[in-house]
Amino acid sequence: MSNPKISVIMPAYNVEKYIAEAIESILNQTFKDFEFIIIDDGSTDRTWEIIQEYSKKDSRIIAFKNKRNLKICKTLNKGIEIARGKYIARMDADDWSYPDRLEKQYKFMEENPEIVISGGTMEVCNEKMEVLNQRKYNLSDEAIRKKLFRYSPFCHPCTIYKKRVAKKMGGYNEYLFDAEDYDFYFRLGLYGKFGNLPDVIFKLRTRSQSVSQARLRRQEKLTLYIRIKAIMEYGYKMTAVDKLYFLGQYLSIFTIPPKIKFWLFNLMRSKLK
């Protein structure tokens, strides 16, 4: 069997309510030349059973189950090692991809070989997948790098990146779970350019127990640490505005409750690029 053009990697943990919808959104893509690597990270509900049911119906699904919960970084790195595609497309097991997502992303990456990672516009939804707002991202490498120290430049589960570069970097830093994607972007940026599609290609489901809310404080501290790491280890430079932003975010950790901050962040990111 020839290698597919894209390897979609989707970790899953206790998402029996949502995973069927996520799986079908990938299987129903207009772009067909992909493998779908789904890794159950030690679920205790029916998640693994649902994955197995779908894997029996579609040969593009490659299903694995971790013997114990390894967390997202080790699970993603396992997927990268397994992947055979030229590109890796991320997917989360409680989200939804528009049918033309992979087709648009593959074309964009092929037409812009200098780009190592890209994403697109996504819709922030509630638990029932009703759209709350739209989150746009900067499109060009220059614009993305200008704001790289202020917020994440991509929606992680709707990114696509070059597998060769991801493997060369050693995948995700496993001790940075909860903010592993942000560090991953800084490191990818040493090998090529960033880019984003203006198209809406993804729906992100927000839940009360999601990492973004439940562990926001840890995530924020890691984000600040990663920014320092980007300067000290990766050779990036902060502007004066970046430094002020860094200080403001540091102080906010101790003054603004996580739930309020999460709401404010979504409000600002839905209106600003």
Q: What ranges do the domains of the chain cover? A: 6-271
Cβ contact 201:157 at 8 Å: no
What is the rounded CA–CA span in Å between residue 97 and residue 205? Answer: 11
The helices-and-strands tally (H runs, E runs) of the chain is 11, 9
- Can you give the pLDDT at residue 257? 65
Give, as one character, the DSSP assignment of residue 172.
Answer: S
- Can you give the pLDDT at residue 192? 98
Residues forming a β-bridge with 62: 37
What is the rounded CA–CA span in Å between residue 46 and residue 88? Answer: 26
What is the rounded CA–CA span in Å between residue 35 and residue 161? Answer: 15
- Can you give the pLDDT at residue 158? 97
Quick: pLDDT tens for 215-224. Answer: 777 888 899 9
Burial class (CB in 10 A: 0-12, 13-18, 19+), 249: middle
Name residues of the chain where pLDDT drops below 50: 211-212, 272-273
Cβ contact 27:88 at 8 Å: no
- Can you give the pLDDT at residue 256? 61
- Can you give the pLDDT at residue 2? 79
What is the rounded CA–CA span in Å between residue 144 and residue 146? Answer: 5
Give, as one character, the DSSP assignment of residue 175.
Answer: G
- Can you give the pLDDT at residue 218? 81
CA dihedral 216, 221, 222, 226 (to 10 degrees): 140
CA dihedral 141, 143, 146, 152 (to 10 degrees): -80
Quick: pLDDT tens for 170-212. Answer: 999 999 988 999 999 999 999 999 999 999 999 999 876 554 4
- Can you give the pLDDT at residue 178? 86
Terminal-residue alpha carbon distance, the chain: 43
Query: What CATH number is given for 6-271 in this structure?
Result: 3.90.550.10
- Can you give the pLDDT at residue 253? 73
